């Protein structure tokens, strides 16, 4: 959420807008302490709450006496928690703070700035990484610090009757040829014909030319055959 706290130069009536838990508030003071922001949001006693500033990507705790410059763009959105401690995690190698022992997939996507074609993954040691499913929560109170990363959404397609996982929402002619043959035939006379079916609405079926790419969806079928120049 972007709030416009700019005002005409020399204006003496400027009010600075901020949000706490999605509710909009304003103040005449450009510099506010964390305690003041909580009290203006009706969260009293302020000392019973943790205030988190969202910077997208990024989040950090604001102490009771920490000053916040509401005139800086992207610094006016906050989440408040009835809590006495913060919880840390790493997202794409950036440190984050949160005010609850768990965080939802939706909140993670929001504060990490994940794109629509990306998924969130919990990094794991000595076992496969775990994709964070929509609607699920991540426990931040477990031993150690959770590490989350964004990854392009993985789509399963079928190439010459074999399932293949693709990171992203498109596949290229060269990728399909490499997937279709363990050892790709070479030579000046070698060509490949690549046809597809069960594709997305914009390209449900067709033939992919050499050097081209095509949008994909789960279950899309590709048939790659070797031909020779006539």
Task: Enumerate residues 6+ apart whose C-beta is below 8 A from 102.
Answer: 137, 138, 139, 140, 141
Residue that finishes a domain, picked among 82, 116, 133: 82
Residue that finishes a domain, picked among 137, 152, 167: 152
Same domain flag for 181 and 131: no
**Structure confidence by residue, pLDDT tens digits, 6-18:** 554 444 678 999 9
Same domain flag for 147 and 163: no
Give the pLDDT band of residue 5 (cuts 50, 70, 90).
low
Same domain flag for 3 and 65: yes
Give the CATH number for residue 90: 3.10.20
**Structure confidence by residue, pLDDT tens digits, 107-160:** 999 999 999 889 999 999 889 999 999 999 999 998 889 999 999 888 999 999
Same domain flag for 90 and 68: no
User: Which is more confidently placed, 144 or 91?
Assistant: 91
Same domain flag for 127 and 170: no
Say if residue 185's pLDDT is above 80.
Answer: yes
Same domain flag for 55 and 106: no
Same domain flag for 126 and 170: no
Per-residue model confidence (pLDDT) at position 209: 95
How large is the average pLDDT for residues 17-33? 96
Question: Residues of the chain with pLDDT > 70: what percent?
Answer: 94
pTM, rounded to two decimals: 0.74
Same domain flag for 143 and 217: no
Say if residue 195's pLDDT is above 80.
Answer: yes
User: Which is more confidently placed, 25 or 168?
Assistant: 25
Residue that finishes a domain, picked among 152, 180, 196: 152
Same domain flag for 40 and 108: no
Same domain flag for 143 and 164: no
Per-residue model confidence (pLDDT) at position 3: 64
Q: What is the DSSP string of 91-149?
A: ETTEEEEESSSEEEHHHHHHHHT--TTEEEEE--SSS--EE--TT-EEESSSSS-EEEE
* Rounded Cα gap, residues 54 and 10, in angstroms: 29
How large is the average pLDDT for residues 92-107? 97
Same domain flag for 214 and 147: no
Same domain flag for 98 and 46: no
Contacts 24+ apart (CB under 8 A), 79-82: 79/20, 79/21, 79/51, 79/52, 79/54, 80/20, 80/21, 80/38, 80/41, 80/43, 80/49, 80/50, 80/51, 80/52, 81/49, 81/50, 81/52, 82/48, 82/49
Tally the domains of the chain: 3
User: Which is more confidently placed, 11 or 211?
Assistant: 211
Residue 41: which domain range?
1-82
């Amino acid at each position: 959420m972007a709030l416009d706290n700019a005002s005409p130069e020399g204006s003496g009536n400027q009010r600075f807008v901020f949000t706490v838990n999605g509710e909009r508030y304003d103040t005449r003071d450009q510099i506010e302490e964390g305690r003041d922001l909580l009290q203006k949001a009706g969260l009293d006693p302020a000392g019973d709450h943790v205030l988190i500033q969202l910077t997208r990507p990024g989040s950090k705790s604001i102490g009771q006496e920490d000053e916040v410059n509401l005139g800086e763009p992207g610094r006016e959105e906050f989440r408040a928690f009835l809590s006495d401690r913060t919880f840390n995690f790493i997202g794409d190698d950036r440190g984050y703070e949160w005010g609850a022992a768990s965080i939802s997939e939706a909140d993670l996507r929001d504060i990490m700035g994940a794109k629509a074609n990306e998924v969130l993954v919990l990094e794991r040691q000595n076992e496969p990484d775990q994709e964070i499913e929509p609607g699920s929560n991540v426990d931040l109170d477990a031993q150690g610090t959770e590490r989350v990363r964004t990854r392009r959404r993985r789509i399963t397609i079928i190439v010459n009757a074999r399932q293949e996982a693709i990171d992203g929402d498109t596949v290229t002619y060269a990728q399909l040829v490499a997937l279709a043959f363990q050892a790709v035939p070479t030579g000046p006379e070698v060509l490949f014909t690549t046809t597809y079916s069960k594709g997305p609405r914009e390209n449900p079926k067709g033939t992919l030319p050499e050097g081209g790419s095509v949008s994909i969806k789960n279950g899309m079928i590709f048939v790659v055959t070797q031909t020779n120049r006539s």
